[in-house]
């Protein structure tokens, strides 16, 4: 369990980005994921990069922390770049590495795709870094609200999401606890031949499943005992509310999209 992996990890804070309505954030990120593919010039990429880095700065989370957390993704980004260097054969030959020609088009395209990839990951991880899982599910529930008309179980889906999100840390803790207990009984999870290591997982998985089932049963009972009966007529403790800053951010983002279309090559 790598503690440095930050995708899906919420960092509490009170920054401008933290206080945005989760629906605003989701809508913007969803659109961002699409418009990233519009960029095809230096200016348009510059605009998107400025937007992403600017938002990252506004979260007031240390950039070094964000960068470190994206470590596993760096590998993919670099890999994409190298793949482009090898495969793409556009433009003129710039230089040769061990008699293998590197084309100018390859560098440009590799850089563009890697940058695009990086921006996607950065912006989407900003969502989970600044929004609690509960806020995200609340937002998804309202955003998917119209689907109720075609009898899509939106509330149940949101409930399932929030329950799973709620229990991820619990299960992680449980895994850590049990693996420590088994390690104390001489299980070696980290060294030895693959076969042994696969077998070492059994003493970990069995107790984990047993406790997960037990937990699910207890939760279901506790919910029933408190009269839970689903979406209809249920009120909310935290009402989502669109405020001035949300409108401001949305208009700013629209301007960026317009700018993007205009700076396209």
Q: Which residues bind other proteins (CB under 8 A)?
A: 3-4, 11, 61-62, 65, 174, 177-178, 180-188, 202-203, 206-207, 210-211
Looking at the Cβ atoms of 174 and 197, the one nearer to other proteins is 174
Q: Shortest distance, CB of residue 184 to other proteins, whole angstroms?
A: 4
Q: Biggest alpha carbon distance in the chain?
A: 73
Looking at the Cβ atoms of 77 and 201, the one nearer to other proteins is 201
25 neighbors 246 (Cβ within 8 angstroms): no
Looking at the Cβ atoms of 168 and 261, the one nearer to other proteins is 168
Looking at the Cβ atoms of 102 and 212, the one nearer to other proteins is 212
Q: Shortest distance, CB of residue 245 to other proteins, whole angstroms?
A: 23
Report the distance separating Cα 159 and Cα 147, nearest Å: 16
33 neighbors 124 (Cβ within 8 angstroms): yes
| Angle of CA points 69, 87, 105, to nearest 5° | 85
Q: Shortest distance, CB of residue 193 to other proteins, whole angstroms?
A: 15
Q: Shortest distance, CB of residue 249 to other proteins, whole angstroms?
A: 24
264 neighbors 39 (Cβ within 8 angstroms): yes
| Angle of CA points 62, 68, 72, to nearest 5° | 145
């Amino acid at each position: 369990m790598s503690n440095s992996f930050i995708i899906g990890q919420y960092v509490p804070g009170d920054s401008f980005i933290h206080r945005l309505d989760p629906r605003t954030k989701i809508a913007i990120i969803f659109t961002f994921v699409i418009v990233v593919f519009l960029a095809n010039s230096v200016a348009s990429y510059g605009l998107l990069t400025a937007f992403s880095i600017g938002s990252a700065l506004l979260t007031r989370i240390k950039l070094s922390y964000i960068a470190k957390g994206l470590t596993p993704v760096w590998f993919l980004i670099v890999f994409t770049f190298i793949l482009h260097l090898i495969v793409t054969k556009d433009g003129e030959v710039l230089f040769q590495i061990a008699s293998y020609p590197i084309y100018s088009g390859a560098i440009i395209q590799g850089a563009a795709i890697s940058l695009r990839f990086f921006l996607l990951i950065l912006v989407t991880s900003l969502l989970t870094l600044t929004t609690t899982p509960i806020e995200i599910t609340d937002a998804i529930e309202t955003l998917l609200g119209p689907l109720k008309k075609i009898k899509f179980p939106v509330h149940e889906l949101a409930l399932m999401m929030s329950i799973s999100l709620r229990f991820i840390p619990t299960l992680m803790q449980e895994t850590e606890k049990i693996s420590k207990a088994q390690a104390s009984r001489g299980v070696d999870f980290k060294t030895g031949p693959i076969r042994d290591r696969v077998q070492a997982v059994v003493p970990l998985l069995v107790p984990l499943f047993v406790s997960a089932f037990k937990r699910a049963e207890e939760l279901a009972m506790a919910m029933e005992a408190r009269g839970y009966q689903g979406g209809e007529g249920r009120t909310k403790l935290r009402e989502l509310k669109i405020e001035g800053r949300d409108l401001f951010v949305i208009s700013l983002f629209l301007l960026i999209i317009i700018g993007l279309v205009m700076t396209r090559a």
